[in-house]
Amino acid sequence: MTQKQEHLSKNQQIVLNLIEKAKGPLKAYSILYNVQKRGIKAPLQVYRALEKLIEIGKIHKIESKNAFIACKNSDCEISKATAFSICNNCEHVKEIKNSKLSKYLSNFEDNSGMKYKKYNLEFFGLCKICKLKQ
Amino acid sequence: MTQKQEHLSKNQQIVLNLIEKAKGPLKAYSILYNVQKRGIKAPLQVYRALEKLIEIGKIHKIESKNAFIACKNSDCEISKATAFSICNNCEHVKEIKNSKLSKYLSNFEDNSGMKYKKYNLEFFGLCKICKLKQ
DNA sequence: ATAACAAACGTTATATTATAACAAATTAAG
DNA sequence: CTTAATTTGTTATAATATAACGTTTGTTAT
């Protein structure tokens, strides 16, 4: 039994704490500004922590926003199947937890002869609240 | 009858020609270097053309790569439903044209009360060729 | 044709996002 | 304990993208 995900380093823990407390996805440099009081001084320190946290599935990158969000699903698993809903108006982002969807996509095959090991899906639209406002 | 997509401007046409000739996705600055002989001098000229071409559905952005690829599907439609397969080894990218998949995703609803207008899906794995090599 | 408006252009400067390279310190495993 | 692997700290720089401005071109409606 490996325990890769058990012990986070100091910087990794600092960055993860911040991301987990946040209401939405955070950008790398915004993370940097917010952890400077905790001793992290350079972008690279943040990016290295982010890289590791992504690798072990604690956070995900929202590619269309270059931002990072805590994993709310299967906390300690390496994430190779991610789906998000993104509001075009208020920018609210939420990870979609839907077993039918994930089953469907994990088993998806086309005629390319390619076996997919990982996917990332981003849905865009208006969230409930923004729909009412408009 | 609008004809938005009919007439591309000079810069838009230059950029589109290059992307359509390319074998894979191109990065913005690589596009820039390749169109300098045609009179485009600044990044912004490229980015503006890209923005327009995306808007009218002639090209797509591969978000995980910050790269741009010609649309091979419904050429002149504004694209709000995109799916790609990406080889982790050779970086080969291909747009997935699969009506079952697109129907499934276009009609997808979860319990968030959000109606999705657009999605982008990226699959990762090893392509046929790279699978053999490894 | 021409006025009025929108779209695209050219240009300079700058903002934002991310990585290279290297040496030192810390931690995990044999 | 000592070797290997990981993480750190640091400086510098690469890569990606947009702001702001004034000009030019293209469209539409008189």
B105 touches A: beta carbon within 8 Å: yes
Mean pLDDT on A80-99? 93
* CA atoms of A106 and B121, how far apart (whole Å): 12
Is the confidence at residue B79, as pLDDT, over 90?
no
Mean pLDDT on A14-34? 98
Kindly compute the dihedral angle of the four CA atoms of residues A74, A49, A115, A86, in this order, to the nearest 10 degrees.
60
Is the confidence at residue B5, as pLDDT, over 50?
no
Q: In terms of residues, how long is chain A?
A: 134
- Residue A22 near residue A70, CB atoms below 8 Å: yes
- Percent of all residues in chain A with a pLDDT value above 90, rounded to a whole number: 80
- Residue B60 near residue B97, CB atoms below 8 Å: no
Chain A residues 34-53 with Cβ under 7 Å of strand C are: 42-44, 47, 51
For residue A116, give the nearest of B94, B120, B125 by CB distance: B125
* CA atoms of B98 and B116, how far apart (whole Å): 19
Radius of gyration of the CA atoms of chain B, in A? 16
Is the confidence at residue B69, as pLDDT, over 80?
yes
Mean pLDDT on B95-100? 93
What pLDDT score does B75 carry? 52
pTM for this one? 0.93
For residue B85, give the nearest of A63, A94, A112 by CB distance: A112
What pLDDT score does B77 carry? 61
Under the banding of pLDDT at 50, 70 and 90, the label for residue B72 is confident
CA–C1' gap, B84 and C19, in angstroms: 26
Query: Which domains can be identified in chain A, with CATH numbers?
Result: 10-70 (1.10.10.10), 81-133 (3.30.1490.190)
